[in-house]
Structure 1
Amino acid sequence: MCDMAIVAVKTNYNTDDEGITLLILESTMEEFNKGVPLKKIGMKSQDTAELFFDNVKVPNENRLGDEKMGFKITMQELARERLTVGIMAVAIAEDAIENIITH
Protein backbone atom coordinates (compact mmCIF):
# COMPACT_ATOMS: atom_id res chain seq x y z
CA MET A 1 0.00 0.00 0.00
CA CYS A 2 3.03 2.29 0.22
CA ASP A 3 3.41 5.33 -1.98
CA MET A 4 7.13 5.43 -1.26
CA ALA A 5 9.83 3.22 0.17
CA ILE A 6 13.27 3.94 1.57
CA VAL A 7 15.62 1.35 0.10
CA ALA A 8 19.21 0.58 1.11
CA VAL A 9 21.32 -0.10 -1.99
CA LYS A 10 24.94 -1.03 -2.51
CA THR A 11 26.34 1.69 -4.74
CA ASN A 12 29.87 0.42 -5.42
CA TYR A 13 29.89 -3.10 -6.85
CA ASN A 14 33.25 -2.70 -8.60
CA THR A 15 35.32 -1.82 -5.53
CA ASP A 16 36.02 -3.17 -2.06
CA ASP A 17 34.03 -0.26 -0.67
CA GLU A 18 30.92 -1.56 1.11
CA GLY A 19 29.12 1.75 0.51
CA ILE A 20 25.38 1.60 1.19
CA THR A 21 23.20 4.48 0.05
CA LEU A 22 19.57 5.14 1.02
CA LEU A 23 17.18 5.99 -1.82
CA ILE A 24 13.60 7.18 -1.69
CA LEU A 25 11.61 5.26 -4.31
CA GLU A 26 8.13 6.42 -5.23
CA SER A 27 5.48 3.90 -6.24
CA THR A 28 4.84 5.88 -9.44
CA MET A 29 8.39 5.29 -10.73
CA GLU A 30 8.60 3.06 -13.78
CA GLU A 31 9.80 -0.50 -13.05
CA PHE A 32 9.03 -0.23 -9.31
CA ASN A 33 6.41 -2.89 -8.56
CA LYS A 34 4.86 -4.27 -5.39
CA GLY A 35 3.88 -7.89 -4.77
CA VAL A 36 0.76 -9.08 -3.00
CA PRO A 37 0.62 -8.45 0.77
CA LEU A 38 2.11 -11.28 2.82
CA LYS A 39 0.05 -13.10 5.45
CA LYS A 40 1.66 -12.31 8.80
CA ILE A 41 1.24 -13.62 12.33
CA GLY A 42 1.62 -10.27 14.10
CA MET A 43 1.46 -6.53 13.44
CA LYS A 44 -1.20 -7.02 10.77
CA SER A 45 -1.93 -3.30 10.61
CA GLN A 46 1.48 -2.85 8.99
CA ASP A 47 1.24 -4.43 5.56
CA THR A 48 4.30 -6.23 4.23
CA ALA A 49 4.95 -7.19 0.63
CA GLU A 50 7.85 -7.92 -1.69
CA LEU A 51 9.15 -4.98 -3.68
CA PHE A 52 10.51 -5.46 -7.19
CA PHE A 53 12.98 -3.16 -8.94
CA ASP A 54 13.94 -3.61 -12.57
CA ASN A 55 16.31 -0.85 -13.72
CA VAL A 56 14.44 1.86 -11.79
CA LYS A 57 15.78 5.31 -12.66
CA VAL A 58 16.18 7.24 -9.41
CA PRO A 59 16.90 10.98 -9.57
CA ASN A 60 19.75 12.28 -7.43
CA GLU A 61 17.35 14.35 -5.31
CA ASN A 62 15.79 11.08 -4.10
CA ARG A 63 18.96 10.13 -2.25
CA LEU A 64 18.52 10.26 1.53
CA GLY A 65 21.68 11.66 3.08
CA ASP A 66 25.11 11.41 1.52
CA GLU A 67 26.18 8.60 -0.77
CA LYS A 68 27.70 5.63 1.11
CA MET A 69 26.31 6.90 4.45
CA GLY A 70 23.18 4.72 4.44
CA PHE A 71 24.51 2.13 6.87
CA LYS A 72 25.49 4.78 9.41
CA ILE A 73 22.11 6.53 9.08
CA THR A 74 20.28 3.22 9.46
CA MET A 75 22.20 2.23 12.58
CA GLN A 76 21.45 5.59 14.22
CA GLU A 77 17.71 5.21 13.57
CA LEU A 78 17.53 1.47 14.31
CA ALA A 79 18.36 2.03 17.97
CA ARG A 80 15.46 4.47 18.30
CA GLU A 81 13.08 2.07 16.56
CA ARG A 82 14.10 -0.81 18.82
CA LEU A 83 13.52 1.35 21.88
CA THR A 84 10.06 2.34 20.58
CA VAL A 85 9.10 -1.28 19.92
CA GLY A 86 10.31 -2.28 23.41
CA ILE A 87 8.28 0.48 25.06
CA MET A 88 5.23 -0.53 23.05
CA ALA A 89 5.62 -4.19 24.08
CA VAL A 90 5.84 -3.26 27.78
CA ALA A 91 2.76 -1.01 27.51
CA ILE A 92 0.75 -3.79 25.82
CA ALA A 93 1.83 -6.30 28.49
CA GLU A 94 0.90 -3.89 31.30
CA ASP A 95 -2.52 -3.32 29.71
CA ALA A 96 -3.08 -7.07 29.36
CA ILE A 97 -2.19 -7.66 33.02
CA GLU A 98 -4.44 -4.81 34.13
CA ASN A 99 -7.35 -6.27 32.10
CA ILE A 100 -6.82 -9.69 33.66
CA ILE A 101 -6.73 -8.28 37.19
CA THR A 102 -9.81 -6.05 36.79
CA HIS A 103 -11.98 -8.58 34.94
Structure 2
Amino acid sequence: MPAKRKKKKARGKGFFNNIPFKLVAVALVICCTVISVSTEYDRMQKEEELLSIKEKIKDYENENAELQQNLEGDDMTAYIEKVAREDFNYAYPDEQRFYDTSRN
Protein backbone atom coordinates (compact mmCIF):
# COMPACT_ATOMS: atom_id res chain seq x y z
CA MET A 1 0.00 0.00 0.00
CA PRO A 2 1.48 3.28 -1.00
CA ALA A 3 2.11 5.84 1.71
CA LYS A 4 -0.36 8.63 1.91
CA ARG A 5 1.07 11.91 1.01
CA LYS A 6 -0.09 15.05 2.65
CA LYS A 7 -1.19 17.64 0.25
CA LYS A 8 0.49 20.94 0.68
CA LYS A 9 -1.66 23.97 0.25
CA ALA A 10 -0.39 25.92 -2.61
CA ARG A 11 0.15 29.46 -1.59
CA GLY A 12 -1.17 31.73 -4.17
CA LYS A 13 0.95 34.53 -5.42
CA GLY A 14 -2.01 36.86 -5.63
CA PHE A 15 -2.04 40.54 -4.87
CA PHE A 16 -3.64 40.13 -1.43
CA ASN A 17 -1.08 37.61 -0.20
CA ASN A 18 2.09 39.65 -0.52
CA ILE A 19 3.72 41.39 2.44
CA PRO A 20 3.68 45.00 1.14
CA PHE A 21 -0.10 44.83 0.77
CA LYS A 22 -0.48 43.61 4.34
CA LEU A 23 1.80 46.38 5.63
CA VAL A 24 -0.19 48.99 3.75
CA ALA A 25 -3.44 47.56 5.12
CA VAL A 26 -2.14 47.67 8.71
CA ALA A 27 -0.86 51.23 8.22
CA LEU A 28 -4.23 52.24 6.80
CA VAL A 29 -6.06 50.78 9.80
CA ILE A 30 -3.71 52.60 12.19
CA CYS A 31 -4.16 55.90 10.35
CA CYS A 32 -7.95 55.55 10.37
CA THR A 33 -7.90 54.81 14.10
CA VAL A 34 -5.72 57.84 14.85
CA ILE A 35 -7.92 60.11 12.75
CA SER A 36 -11.06 58.75 14.41
CA VAL A 37 -9.69 59.31 17.92
CA SER A 38 -8.51 62.84 17.14
CA THR A 39 -11.86 63.70 15.56
CA GLU A 40 -13.70 62.43 18.64
CA TYR A 41 -11.43 64.52 20.89
CA ASP A 42 -12.11 67.62 18.79
CA ARG A 43 -15.85 66.92 18.94
CA MET A 44 -15.76 66.70 22.73
CA GLN A 45 -13.88 70.00 22.94
CA LYS A 46 -16.42 71.68 20.66
CA GLU A 47 -19.29 70.36 22.81
CA GLU A 48 -17.69 71.87 25.92
CA GLU A 49 -17.22 75.14 24.06
CA LEU A 50 -20.85 75.03 22.96
CA LEU A 51 -22.02 74.56 26.55
CA SER A 52 -19.98 77.53 27.75
CA ILE A 53 -21.33 79.67 24.92
CA LYS A 54 -24.89 78.64 25.80
CA GLU A 55 -24.26 79.69 29.41
CA LYS A 56 -22.95 83.05 28.23
CA ILE A 57 -26.04 83.47 26.06
CA LYS A 58 -28.28 82.83 29.08
CA ASP A 59 -26.36 85.39 31.11
CA TYR A 60 -26.64 87.99 28.35
CA GLU A 61 -30.34 87.28 27.91
CA ASN A 62 -30.92 87.76 31.64
CA GLU A 63 -28.94 91.00 31.57
CA ASN A 64 -30.87 92.18 28.52
CA ALA A 65 -34.18 91.39 30.23
CA GLU A 66 -33.10 93.40 33.27
CA LEU A 67 -32.03 96.33 31.10
CA GLN A 68 -35.26 96.15 29.11
CA GLN A 69 -37.23 96.21 32.35
CA ASN A 70 -35.29 99.28 33.48
CA LEU A 71 -35.91 101.03 30.16
CA GLU A 72 -39.62 100.29 30.23
CA GLY A 73 -39.96 101.55 33.80
CA ASP A 74 -40.92 105.13 34.51
CA ASP A 75 -38.28 105.73 37.17
CA MET A 76 -34.74 105.65 35.80
CA THR A 77 -33.11 106.96 38.98
CA ALA A 78 -32.62 103.47 40.45
CA TYR A 79 -30.86 102.31 37.30
CA ILE A 80 -28.72 105.45 37.10
CA GLU A 81 -27.74 105.06 40.75
CA LYS A 82 -26.82 101.41 40.22
CA VAL A 83 -24.61 102.24 37.23
CA ALA A 84 -22.97 105.13 39.06
CA ARG A 85 -22.17 102.99 42.11
CA GLU A 86 -21.06 99.80 40.33
CA ASP A 87 -19.35 101.09 37.20
CA PHE A 88 -18.02 104.48 38.24
CA ASN A 89 -17.57 103.93 42.01
CA TYR A 90 -19.58 107.03 42.86
CA ALA A 91 -20.87 107.66 46.36
CA TYR A 92 -23.10 110.16 48.10
CA PRO A 93 -21.30 113.18 49.62
CA ASP A 94 -22.00 112.08 53.20
CA GLU A 95 -21.43 108.37 52.53
CA GLN A 96 -18.37 106.58 53.91
CA ARG A 97 -17.09 103.44 52.22
CA PHE A 98 -15.02 100.82 53.93
CA TYR A 99 -12.85 98.38 52.01
CA ASP A 100 -11.45 95.14 53.36
CA THR A 101 -7.76 95.24 52.48
CA SER A 102 -6.83 92.07 54.38
CA ARG A 103 -7.96 89.89 51.45
CA ASN A 104 -5.26 91.08 49.08
TM range (shorter): 0.3 to 0.5
When normalised by structure 1's length, the TM-score is: 0.35
Q: Of the two structures, which has the highest relative contact order with CA contacts closer than 8 Å and spacing of 6 or more?
A: 1
When normalised by structure 2's length, the TM-score is: 0.35
Q: Report the structure, 1 or 2, having the larger strand content.
A: 1
Q: Which has the larger radius of gyration?
A: 2
Q: Report the structure, 1 or 2, having the larger helix content.
A: 2
